[in-house]
Amino acid sequence: MSLKNLNPRFGILLLFMLVAGIIRVVLGADQSTLQPIAMFTPVGAMALFGGAAFSERWKSFAFPLLTLFLSDVILMQVFHREYAQGLLYKGWAANYISFVFIVLIGQLVIRKMSAGRIAVASVAAALTHFLVSNFGVWISGSTNITTGLPFTRDMAGLTECYILAIPFMKYFLIGTLVYSTIFFGGYAIVARKLRLAH
């Protein structure tokens, strides 16, 4: 079953984006951003879903990234001001670049909705986010949580940054798998109920 051939109602897709943003804010409000469990959020699944479900390319990028941005602003300005640098946080650009790639993964891998494709896309999304966003953490001069000092600007510092990020990647992967199942499965059910499926 092709998601793009379903020609879903625009409002339903926006509702899924809104739900993802709300879940992220609710979960992130009570967790330290330095704890791995904070990565158990729907944002990876949201980006995959946006890439697969929106028929117009600009919407598949615009709405997931806008949802990510708004939830980031709320989390940084309301709940975690100690980590804020301006509106967002140090290294935010690399994080957003990783989500652009995740949307692309959704577009390319989940052309037809199936459990196998969603699982492969989720793993690819977690690896992409891990590699790109943590490179941004390292290059931005962020603090090593074990030493309280910035990561050294060499291969040893980059390697340590990636090693420390492995628990975060694990929760990002689990969250992406769980929420992808909910989003894509829920969408299929709603589409069938509203006779959007052929």
pLDDT in tens, 131-142: 999 999 999 988
Q: What CA–CA distance (Å, rounded) separates 56 from 148?
A: 45
The residue length of the chain stands at: 198
Which residues have a Cβ under 8 Å from the Cβ of 30 and sit 6 or more positions away? none
Is 88 strand, coil or helix?
strand
Query: Measured between alpha carbons, how far is 52 from 55 in angstroms, rounded to an integer?
Result: 8
Q: What percent of the chain has pLDDT over 70?
A: 91
Q: What pLDDT is stored for residue 198 in this prediction?
A: 39
pLDDT of residue 197: 46
Cβ neighbors of 186 (< 8 A, separation 6 or more) are 16
What per-residue confidence (pLDDT) applies to 188? 86
Q: Dihedral, CA atoms, 59, 53, 120, 91, nearest 10 degrees?
A: 20
Give 162's contacts (C-beta < 8 A, 6+ positions apart): 130, 131, 134
Q: Is 90 exceeded by the pLDDT of residue 49?
A: yes
Higher pLDDT, 39 or 122: 122
Residue 187 pLDDT exceeds 80: yes
Contacting residues for 98 by C-beta, under 8 A, at least 6 apart: 128, 129, 131, 132, 133, 136
Among the listed residues 165, 184, 144, the one whose alpha carbon sits nearest the alpha carbon of residue 36: 165
Across residues 17-21, what is the average pLDDT? Answer: 93
Question: What residues contact residue 80 under an 8 Å CB cut-off, 6+ apart?
Answer: 28, 32, 33
Q: How far apart are CA 154 and CA 51, in angstroms?
A: 35
Residue 104, pLDDT above cutoff 60: yes
Q: Are 26 and 85 in contact (CB under 8 A)?
A: no
Q: Quick check: pTM over 0.85? A: yes
What is the arithmetic mean of pLDDT over 21-42? Answer: 83
- CA distances from residue 102 to 2, 51, 150, 192, 195 in whole angstroms, order as listed: 19, 8, 28, 26, 29
CA-to-CA distance for 165 and 50, rounded, in angstroms? 26
